[in-house]
């Protein structure tokens, strides 16, 4: 059975890591629903957040393949219950759409959106939320005219207790251990 999973992938900041990760999905014919990347709380460590729809069995296999890539420090997969997540959407609407009473103003208030900038021709509205929430505002703004609409990929933090800094310490130790083994086997 297919389900929505969010992957949090921590990597070194190296050219090509992204391509290695996306290749794992491409090869298995899995479509990526959303993806973002930026530096994490640890300097030099990047966090990729990828949303996919697939079976639990498949996400487990994909997760192992991702962790196998050199340059990937740690990867996790979560169901939506295990994370707090958010997306951001920007709506560019004509300024004249505000001239019909206070309909649009009410929409902004009711949806917890806010205005970023006002120009003579257009106004930019920003809303953060889950996809269905940003979509709902989109649908409601549509009759007033939308010049542009852009939605970000999902950002997510996990509810789990152990943080990436702790995992990184484990990794340092584990990769050191492997050095000992290497010498032991004299390979």
Partner 1 sequence: MDTQAKTKVEEKRKTKIRVSGAEAIVRSLLEEGTDLMFGYIGGAIMPIYDVLYSYQDRLQHVMVRHEQGAMHAAQAYARISKKPGVCMSTSGPGATNLITGLADAMLDSTPMVCITGQVGSGLLGSDAFQETDVVGVSMPVTKWNFQITKAEEIPEAVAKAFFIARSGRPGPVLLDITKDAQFAELDYSYEKITQIRSYIPYPKLNLNAVSQAAEIINAAKKPFVLVGQGVLLSGAQKEFKEFVEKAEIPVGSTLLGLSAFPSNHSLFTGMLGMHGNYAPNINTNECDVLIAIGMRFDDRVTGNLKTYATQAKIIHIDLDNAEIDKNVKTDVAIVADAKQALQSLIPLVNSNTHKEWIESFSELRKVEIEKVINKDCNPTSGAIKMGEVINKLSEKTNGEAIIVTDVGQHQMASARYYQFNKTQSLVTSGGLGTMGFGLPASVGAQIAAGDKRDVYAFIGDGGFQMTIQELGTISQLNLNVKIILLNNNFLGMVRQWQDMFNEKRYAYTELTNPDFITIAKGFGIEGKTISNREDIDKTLNDLITHKGPFLLEVKVEKEANVFPMVPAGGTVSEMILE
What residue ranges bind partner 1 (CB under 8 A)? 11-12, 15-16, 19-20, 23, 27, 60-61, 64-65, 67-73, 168, 171-172, 174-179, 181-183, 185, 187
Nearest CB to partner 1, comparing residues 25 and 85:
25
Nearest approach, Cβ of residue 31 and partner 1 (Å): 18
Nearest CB to partner 1, comparing residues 59 and 108:
59
Nearest approach, Cβ of residue 181 and partner 1 (Å): 4
Nearest approach, Cβ of residue 114 and partner 1 (Å): 40
DSSP letter string over 80-142?
GGGEEEEEEEEEEEEGGGGGSTTHHHHHHHHTT-EEEEE-SSEEEEEEEE-HHHHHHHHHHHG
Q: How far apart are CA 111 and CA 134, in angstroms?
A: 9
Nearest CB to partner 1, comparing residues 116 and 182:
182
Nearest approach, Cβ of residue 4 and partner 1 (Å): 22
Nearest CB to partner 1, comparing residues 52 and 73:
73
At a CB cut-off of 8 Å and minimum separation 6, what does 88 contact?
126, 127, 128, 134, 151, 152
At a CB cut-off of 8 Å and minimum separation 6, what does 103 contact?
144
Nearest CB to partner 1, comparing residues 50 and 107:
50
Percent helix, percent strand, percent coil in the chain, to nearest 5: 40, 35, 25
Angle between helices 17-27 and 56-68 (to 10 degrees): 150
Nearest CB to partner 1, comparing residues 81 and 180:
180
> What is the β-pairing status of strands 32-39 and 114-118?
unpaired
């Amino acid at each position: 059975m297919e389900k929505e999973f969010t992957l949090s992938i921590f990597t070194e900041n190296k050219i090509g890591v992204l391509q290695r990760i996306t290749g794992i999905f491409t090869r298995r014919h899995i479509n990526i629903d959303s993806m973002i990347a930026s530096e994490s709380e640890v300097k030099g460590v990047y966090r990729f957040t990828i949303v996919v729809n697939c079976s639990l069995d498949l996400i487990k296999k994909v997760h192992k393949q991702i962790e196998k890539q050199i340059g990937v420090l740690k990867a996790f997969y979560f169901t939506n219950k295990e994370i707090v997540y958010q997306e951001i959407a920007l709506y560019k609407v004509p300024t004249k759409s505000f001239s019909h009473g206070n309909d649009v103003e009410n929409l902004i208030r009711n949806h917890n959106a806010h205005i970023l900038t006002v120009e003579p021709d257009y106004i930019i509205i920003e809303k953060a939320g889950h996809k269905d929430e940003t979509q709902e505002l989109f649908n409601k703004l549509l009759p007033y005219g939308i010049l542009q609409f852009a939605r970000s990929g999902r950002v997510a933090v996990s509810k789990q207790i152990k943080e990436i800094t702790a995992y990184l310490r484990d990794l340092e130790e584990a990769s050191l251990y492997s050095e000992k083994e290497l010498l032991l086997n004299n390979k």
